[in-house]
Chains A and B, each alone.
Chain A
């Protein structure tokens, strides 16, 4: 009695199987569509401001103030771009920013791995206390040191030069030193010992073994140093006073705070200002994502 009931149930399930299967497939497809829909909405919300920036930058003034606004300009114009580049020394600012970013990348790549190497792969007494010191400096708000460092540069007579904006990166940044040290710790000591037995000096081991192995971590250091210098506002603001030396950040602020905001040229300037970083991100997406996940910092 019981058995037959069970068998009937089984037969019923078997009979229903094909229908259940197609139903499940449809269900799965529906879930997939739903997931994409959620993600498209999320991505659209994050992209929308970009679209507005670009669309405004190609609009004529009457269309910028047209209500309701249209995302797709009726008449495309490059006038805003021409005005942005001609009204202020845009190219000059661009080159200044590029110079500072490059100089800082070189500095960071010179100093940070060197210090990290010393803190991870060379046996010496000061290694541990120094590492703790590096960690401690990461906790201090920059405002505390900002004023004395400013006064220091002022005393040295280097206000209005690029020294305050370049030199510090040649002395290493705690954050990258920490990150690289963690990375170097993962390099097997046997590898370095073998080289040492062959008579290689610490410097040679560093240059020929450690650095090539750390290429991906170094890319992260280079990219983030570049982006941070490119976008930095506070430091150029307090250290530069000659307009011809301004970076894009300070240059844009100085120009539009003095002449008042004109949305077309402003959005064109902002687009040009952001473009190199967006391009860099598209090219080096993997390093960006890895860098953030590796450090836990944004």
Chain B
């Protein structure tokens, strides 16, 4: 009885939408006229839609490069924070702080930092004598720009890694020290296996999140509310953004629903592949 709010919510906002969404994906539906049955036409159309492939490519790019890189940076930060020093909570707070900044504010801030001419990033690169890319104005550099911005937001993952590092039993390190294992070998043979379940979970969460990447791409790519653009040469057209444009700019609800289902299947497939591979690289205590 106490569960009834959620049950109502589940029926209205989950169960019914899932079923009807599958149906919409087989129809031509523009919100104003009743859905018209078209069978698999939406899916067939998608597979010959260039912007669909472009958005898929952009999203895969972000996932393949962005997710592992942010896990690595988060782990490095966590290792740094795990050193025994006074004032560790202060450092930890400063690393986490960026993640409470609203995405919209963070995106505009980075657009300024990455400004080709006046931005601090390029000024810094200039000082170091490094090349200064045009970042958000150059189709080849827009996605690296987004990934760089994502690295600023690894605080949450860092905290999770930090909690995991503190759980690794001290006896392992003492035993390794007796064997004369150095820093690198302790990291490779003790720390990484011990926290591998966390890495698995964060990897899956990261990939799911990356496939749904939307807000930053929308703000930087679609500079006007009703102009369905995707940044320079559509280089910021993420899957989530193209889905949004189909649904809410072109009002092709059936087409967008088909995209949503393909997204679901891709997410499911990738998750299952990673879970299957995890038996080889994830170690659970007691095994």
Contacts and interface: CB of A to CB of B under 8 A. Distances in A.
A144 B17 contact: yes
B16 A148 contact: yes
A31 to B, nearest CB: 9
Given A147-B256, A297-B205, A65 B92 contact: no
Interface stretch (A19-27, A169-177, A186-194): A169-177
Contact of A147 (B211, B240, B253): B253
B247 A147 contact: yes
Contacts of A72: none
Contact of A289 (B24, B96, B157, B267): B96
B225 interface: yes
Contacts of B101: 274, 277-278
A261 B108 CA distance: 9
B260 A69 contact: no
Nearest to A280: B100
B152 A145 contact: no
A147 B225 contact: no
Interface string B241-267: 001100110000100110111011001
A197 interface: no
B174 interface: no
Given A46-B155, A147-B247, A249-B102, A266 B108 contact: yes
A168 B80 contact: no
Contacts of A130: 3, 7
A141 B267 contact: yes
B278 interface: no
B108 A270 contact: yes
Contacts of B240: 143
Interface in A36-59: 36, 38-40, 42-43, 46-50, 52-53, 56
A117 interface: yes
Given A35-B85, A253-B104, A293-B159, A114 B97 contact: no
A90 interface: no
A114 B2 contact: yes
B112 A56 contact: yes
Interface stretch (B39-47, B50-58, B212-220): B212-220
B110 A49 contact: yes
Contact of B260 (A118, A134, A144): A144
A114 B3 CA distance: 7
B263 A154 contact: no
Interface stretch (A10-18, A75-83, A211-219, A225-233): A225-233
A143 B109 contact: no
Interface in B106-135: 108-113, 118, 120, 123
Contact of B109 (A122, A147, A254, A267): A267
Contacts of A133: 10
Interface of A: prevailing SS: helix
Contact size range, A: 35 or more
Contacts of B261: 144
B118 A64 contact: yes
A258 to B, nearest CB: 8
Interface in A251-286: 252-254, 256-258, 261, 263, 266-267, 269-271, 273-274, 277-278, 280-282, 285
B274 interface: no
Given A69-B118, A143-B260, A143-B263, 17 more contacts: A39-B85, A53-B109, A53-B112, A65-B118, A114-B5, A118-B3, A126-B3, A137-B10, A144-B18, A147-B17, A148-B21, A170-B5, A257-B225, A261-B108, A267-B112, A293-B160, A298-B160
The 9 A-B pairs with the shortest beta carbon distances in the complex, nearest first, are: A298-B156, A171-B9, A148-B17, A118-B2, A270-B105, A172-B6, A231-B102, A145-B17, A118-B3
Interface of A: 32, 35-36, 38-40, 42-43, 46-50, 52-53, 56, 64-65, 67-69, 110-111, 114-115, 117-119, 122, 126, 130, 133-134, 137, 140-152, 154, 168, 170-172, 174, 177, 202, 206, 227, 230-231, 233-234, 238, 248-249, 252-254, 256-258, 261, 263, 266-267, 269-271, 273-274, 277-278, 280-282, 285, 288-289, 292-293, 296-298
8 contacts: A39-B80, A42-B80, A53-B109, A115-B5, A172-B5, A277-B102, A297-B156, A298-B156
